[in-house]
Chains A and B, each alone.
Chain A
Amino acid sequence: MLDVVDLAYCYGSRKAVQQASFSIQEGECLGLLGPNGAGKTTTISCIAGLLSAWEGNLKMNGEVFRPAERKSDRCKLGFVPQDLALYPKLTAEENLRLFATLHGLKRQQCEQAVKEKLELAGLTDRRGDLVGSYSGGMKRRLNLVAGLMHSPSLVLLDEPTVGVDPQSRNHLFEMLLRLKSEGVALLYTTHYMEEAQRLCDRISIMNEGTVMATGTPSELAIEAGEEGADLEQVFLKLTGRSLKDV
């Protein structure tokens, strides 16, 4: 579905991503696993169209994909940013309606989508409350569904579970598994091994801007020369033990 070939991006002279390549199939969840500063957010930002001056090739279903330049390409994506990107002075309903409207949904479709997504996030009862009054977990769930209003076939998720309790995390996982079962492809960045293991079909390990290896956890163990080892050991083997974001 999405092919990323030799993606590279620099912030000024700092190389944040270099020669990153991977691909995602329909209905697949690809985990982008990497330490802090590995370049996960930068990679997702290039694909989401937030950054435009990247190098390399992006293809969606075999066609050139330039989301920063083409609105139609951005329509194909759902984006869930790492930071909560919601308007605290609007209610959950109003937030969702805004993003649905910006995606060009007609009034009725819009109301339908808002209703569905509120249900998906388990927020129907609190739909009229200001988002500013929500708990961290509720905001996270809303942040996730806000990226799904137009029912995209590929969703980019940048650490969507940061700072939530096990119940909310579980709810989020169930939402994502449901999406997957509906054939939606997911690109999921995280540095939590168990999340990657539970949710992702394949995992790309990223370090210092490059993708070191891609595969299922057992394939990665073999690639790292540590057959039978768990994902965390493989991860540390591939990315090293020293601090990464210094």
Chain B
Amino acid sequence: MDTISAAWTLAQKDLRSFLRDRTALVLSILVPIALVSVFGWIMAYAFGGSGGMPKVTLHIADFAHSGKSQELVESLRNDGNLRVRVVKLPEHRDSIDRDAVQRRLEKLIRDGDANHVLILPQDMDQQIEAGKIPLLNLLRDPGRAMEEQVIQIALIQASLNVFGGDFFTGAMEQMLNKQGMDSQTTGLIRSWMVNIGSTMDAFYESKAEDARQNPKTRAGVNEKDVGESDAGDQNGGLQGELKPAGNRGAGETMRGFMEELLPVETKDVSPPDRGKQVTYQQAQSVAGMTVMMLLFALTSCGSVLLSEREEGTLKRLFSQPISWNAILLGKFFFVLLIGLGQMTILFAYGEWMFRVGLFRDPVTLFVLSLSWVVTGGAFGMFLASISRSRKQAESLASLLILMMAALGGCWFPLQMMNLPTVLDTLCKGTMTYWAMTGFQSMLWNQLVWYDTKILHALTWQWCWAGGLGLGAVIFFRRNYCRG
């Protein structure tokens, strides 16, 4: 019998056995569906609805309790990326035991009840009046560095709102003085900056005049939308501050300038085809769970090879007039069929449940799914070929899959994390990373399969598939074939 027909006959046999095992069959469908559901919901709700990124909670201890400090708190509260919680302090600020309160605030962080506590000093207003930057304190949990960036940016924006543009020229002078620059030079710099400010004001003034005469041209890059905006309240804070240039006062023009200098791009850019309700987390969990669960399914199918050896049927197969390639290929066909079946079920469910737009581009979906099934199948076959027993293969599979799932971004979006280079490289070394890149490019960025980003991800997957497949053949020959 020729190799392909023999392989196909064997795959049919495995498929028939697989379908007979009702419990395993039901579990293989239900478990991933349950996981996709749970992760999808948790991700969507935990991270604040349609915004995508989670809100950062900032606790504020307002010792100043002044008009300015409350303005600052309010401004921070309006920031779409922050969830502000004001820490209750004793009524009579003068009689406060500062050390006791400080200890209480630190305890909040140690106990995990807060990650960042911003302390507004009692003499904040006096410092501002003296033309100084008020010294704000931030108590923080060092493990939450990424969130701190969000806070800092929000803080700059809030300060600009409350203290106005001039505040920054003063602040800069103060900083330079502190670093040792003589006061004559800093005074000079300050006057330059004031000049720059008034030149800019004149510029914005003339633009505003323009806008008044011709209301259709809108000033300010920030207000331009490219594609549809679905960022919801994510950028609400910042966008809320934007006003047509014509309304800008002297302080506000400087602020507009500073805002544009900030490293935050406030332009909303989303692909026109993306479903309105899709959140990044839902796309993430549908893709992530499918990518991970498929590996589990495929490794368990691959390990059928081991049970055939343990149960002795492999011996009989070797005595048949078929080549050993046919036996290995037959298992691979079986694994592919199961993989494609499971992927279809999971995606259909994910789409029905979360409407992530999976079937918008069926060709890309098919190319990505097939590549991942082939890669995962090769992984399953490789594990089966190097393991000594089914148990060993299964423990090894669990370990490797869970590790690769975490590193590859199946559980949590890697884009949210600020990874050090070593870890970043490690992540990119996993095959799951490339599967996730492919699926996210399709789901979130709405790219098609021949887009370079997806082709790049596919290339890495096929490299993995090739390597693992070759490994499977080598180890199968060594460990299974006639000695």
How many angstroms between the C-alpha atoms of A215 and B321 in the bound complex? Answer: 32
Q: Is the CB of B20 within 8 A of A89?
A: yes
**Does the CB pair B313–A102 fall under 8 Å?**
no
Which chain A residue lies CB-closest to B20? A89
Q: Pick from A101, A102, A146, A147 the residue with the most CB of B within 10 Å.
A: A102
Asked whether, in the complex, the Cβ of A79 is within 8 Å of the Cβ of B319, the reply is yes
Q: Which of B17, B321, B323, B482 is close to A87, meaning CB atoms less than 8 Å apart?
A: B17
Report yes or no: A103 in contact with B321, Cβ–Cβ below 8 A.
yes
Cβ of A117 under 8 Å from chain B: no
Across the interface, A50 reaches (CB within 8 A) one of B13, B323, B482, namely B482
User: B9 at interface (Cβ–Cβ under 8 A)?
Assistant: yes
Secondary structure of the B side of the interface? helix
B20 and A85 contact, CB distance less than 8 A: no
Given the contacts A50-B315, A85-B311, A146-B316, A90 and B321 also touching, CB distance less than 8 Å: no
Given the complex, which residues of B lie within 8 Å of A49, measured CB to CB?
A: 318-319, 482
Report yes or no: B483 in contact with A51, Cβ–Cβ below 8 A. yes
Please determine whether A90 and B13 come into contact, CB atoms closer than 8 angstroms: yes
Chain B, residues 54-66, CB within 8 Å of chain A (1/0): the string is: 0000000000000
Q: Which of A30-70 contact B (CB under 8 A)?
A: 45, 48-53, 68
A102 touches B321 (CB 8 A): yes
Q: Say yes or no for B243: interface residue by CB 8 A criterion.
A: no
Interface string of A5-37 (1 = CB under 8 A from B): 000000100000000000000000000000000
**Residues of B contacting A75 in the complex (Cβ-Cβ under 8 angstroms):** 321
Chain B residue, CB-CB nearest to A9: B483
- Asked if B316 and A79 make an inter-chain contact with CB atoms under 8 angstroms apart, the answer reads yes
With a 10 A CB-CB cut-off, give which of B18, B311, B315 has the most chain A CB atoms.
B315
Question: Which residues of chain B come closer than 8 Å to A103, judged between CB atoms?
Answer: 1, 320-321
A77 to B316 alpha-carbon distance, docked (Å): 12
* CB < 8 Å neighbour of A101 from B1, B17, B312, B318: B1
Provide the B14-51 mask, 1 if CB < 8 A to any CB of A, else 0: 00111011000000000000000000000000000000
Min C-beta distance of A233 to chain B, whole Å: 34
**B250 contacts partner chain A, Cβ-Cβ < 8 Å:** no
| Cα distance, A85 to B18, chains bound together (Å) | 18
- Nearest A-chain residue to B9, judged by Cβ: A101
Measured in the bound complex, the distance between the Cα atoms of B318 and A43 in whole Å is 16
Q: Which of B16, B311, B315 contacts A90 (CB 8 A)?
A: B16
The reply on A122 being an interface residue by CB < 8 A is no
Which of A11, A51, A72, A90 makes the CB contact (< 8 A) with B17? A90
Inter-chain CA distance A45–B483, complex, in Å, is 10
B265 to chain A, nearest CB (A): 58
B10: chain A residues at CB < 8 Å are 98, 102
Contact A102 B9 (CB under 8 A): yes
Residue of A nearest to B321 (CB): A71
A68 to B324, CA, bound (A): 10
B322 at the interface (CB under 8 A from A): yes
Are B1 and A102 in contact, CB atoms less than 8 angstroms apart? yes
- Is A87 a contact of B322 with CB atoms below 8 Å? no
Contact across chains for B320 and A87 when beta carbons are under 8 A apart:
no
| Given A83-B312, A103-B320, CB of A52 within 8 Å of CB of B17 | no
* CB of A238 closer than 8 Å to a CB of B: no
CA distance A77 to B13 in the complex (A): 23
Residues on B with beta carbons closer than 8 Å to the beta carbon of A146:
316
Chain B residues positioned under 8 Å from A130 (CB to CB): 20
B6 interface residue (CB < 8 Å to A) = yes
| A99 at interface, CB cutoff 8 A | yes
Cβ–Cβ contact A85 & B312, under 8 A: yes
Residue A159, interface by CB 8 Å: no
Cα distance, A74 to B315, chains bound together (Å): 13
Whether A98 lies near B13 (C-beta < 8 A) is: yes
The distance from the CB of B329 to the nearest CB of chain A, in whole angstroms, is: 13
Docked-complex contact A89 and B482, CB < 8 angstroms: no
A residues near B1, Cβ cutoff 8 Å: 101-104
A72: chain B residues within 8 A (beta carbon): 321
Q: Any chain B CB within 8 A of the CB of A164?
A: no
Establish whether residues A52 and B483, one from each chain, have CB atoms under 8 Å apart when the complex forms.
yes
Please report the C-alpha to C-alpha distance between residue A130 and residue B10 in the assembled complex, in whole angstroms.
18
Structural contact, B17 and A50, CB atoms closer than 8 A: no
Partner of A89, one of B21, B315, B322, B323: B21
**Distance in Å from the Cβ of A186 to the closest Cβ of chain B?**
16
Q: Which one, B18, B311, B322, contacts A71 given CB within 8 A?
A: B322
Chain A 135-153 interface 0/1 with B at a Cβ cutoff of 8 Å (1 = within)? 0000000000011000000
- Beta-carbon contact of B482 and A68 below 8 Å: yes
* Chain A positions within 8 Å of B312 at CB level: 81, 83-85
Give the complex CA separation of A103 and B326 in angstroms: 13
Is A94 interfacial (CB-CB < 8 Å)? yes
A86 near B: Cβ within 8 Å? yes
Q: How far is the CA of A167 from the CA of B182 in the complex (A)?
A: 111
- Write the residues of chain A forming the contact surface with B, with a CB cutoff of 8 angstroms: 11, 45, 48-53, 68, 71-72, 74-75, 77, 79, 81, 83-87, 89-90, 94, 98-99, 101-104, 130, 146-147
B residues near A (Cβ < 8 Å) are: 1, 6, 9-10, 13, 16-18, 20-21, 311-313, 315-323, 482-483
Given contacts A53-B482, A74-B320, A84-B311, 8 further A-B contacts (CB under 8 A): A71-B323, A81-B316, A87-B13, A89-B21, A101-B1, A102-B320, A104-B321, A146-B316
Q: Which 3 A-B pairs have the closest CB atoms?
A: A83-B312, A89-B17, A85-B316
